[in-house]
Structure 1
Amino acid sequence: MPTPAKGPRLGGGAAHERLMLANLSAALFEHKRITTTLTKAKRLSPYAERLVTFAKRGDLSSRRRVLGLISNKGIVHELFTDIAKAVENRDGGYTRITKIGNRKGDNAPMAVIELVLEPVSAKQAVVKEATAAAVKAAPVEASVEEVVETEVVAEEAAAEVKASAEETK
């Protein structure tokens, strides 16, 4: 086998690596998390994130590009409908790699790679829900005063954090 032009491949040639990454990404989109070696997980992460970016675009051209890589139409449909909707507010970082130790047989470092389908910031989502509930429950005049007070408190807290950061420098 000739030496690859741009660094080592995962166990074989460039075509074998492309097929392996396509199959791993199909399994990741089907099961939402898979266990594999750390090296394969690190190679899979940018590949899968690129496919999710195509899915977020959602047009016919993107669907055909993904279908050229993953041949299972059911998995591609799930990627474009379920997964793309779950990560539509996220700008990147659709996958998470967690090391889980070494494999018993050959002591290979193992990792779990999973899709990050949670909201971007859980804290911001809770604050939005609380603000919406407060606006619904309170009269209009009182809710406007509460929102103004909340903004003032938030600005003061931000100023304190900025001041403490400058003091530590």
Structure 2
Amino acid sequence: MRHRKKGFLLGRDKEQREALIRGLMIALIEHRRITTTLAKAKAVQPEIEKLIALARQDTPHNRRMALSRLASKTAMRQLFSFAPTEYADRTSGFTRITKLGQRQGDGATMVQIELL
């Protein structure tokens, strides 16, 4: 049965959606704050939360798991440089989504997603 399996489709097929989320995660790790649409932010938020929870313990296995999700060694190194120290006392809630308003061209709700 396919009950409750839909998730965030974002108007893309599976490979494009995974690449989009991977790119947003890399940008969020590198810049700590990005501006995107509400749908994309809601799609990337659970993925980045899982990744930061994984990076709180710096082990070789966790590094390999993060690299398989990110596919960027520099982003993985940055994540493991700040996550164990900054999020040691926090168990969840590593990101914040702040609404900015409507985009001029198509009226999409723009948000800012940032790492706390």
Asked which structure has the greater RCO (Cα within 8 Å, sep 6+), the reply is: 2
Share of identical aligned residues, percent? 38
Q: CA deviation at 1:87?
A: 1.1
> Deviation digits for residues 72-110 of structure 1, max 9, x if unmatched?
211111100113311111110000000000101111001
> Which residues of structure 1 form unaligned runs of 5+?
117-169
Whichever residue aligns with residue 23 of structure 2, its letter is: N
Partner of 1:24: 24
> Which residues of structure 2 form unaligned runs of 5+?
none
- Residues 94-109 of structure 1: pairs in structure 2 closer than 5 A: 94-109=94-109
Q: How large is the RMSD of aligned CA atoms in angstroms?
A: 1.4
Partner of 1:121: none
Matched position secondary structure for 2:66: helix
Partner of 1:60: 60
Partner of 1:73: 73
Matched position secondary structure for 2:56: helix
Q: TM-score, normalised by structure 2?
A: 0.90
- Residues 17-166 of structure 1: pairs in structure 2 closer than 5 A: 17-116=17-116
Count of matched residue pairs = 112
> Deviation digits for residues 119-169 of structure 1, max 9, x if unmatched?
xxxxxxxxxxxxxxxxxxxxxxxxxxxxxxxxxxxxxxxxxxxxxxxxxxx
CA distance in 1, matches of 2:84, 2:103: 33
Partner of 2:5: 6
Matched position secondary structure for 1:101: strand
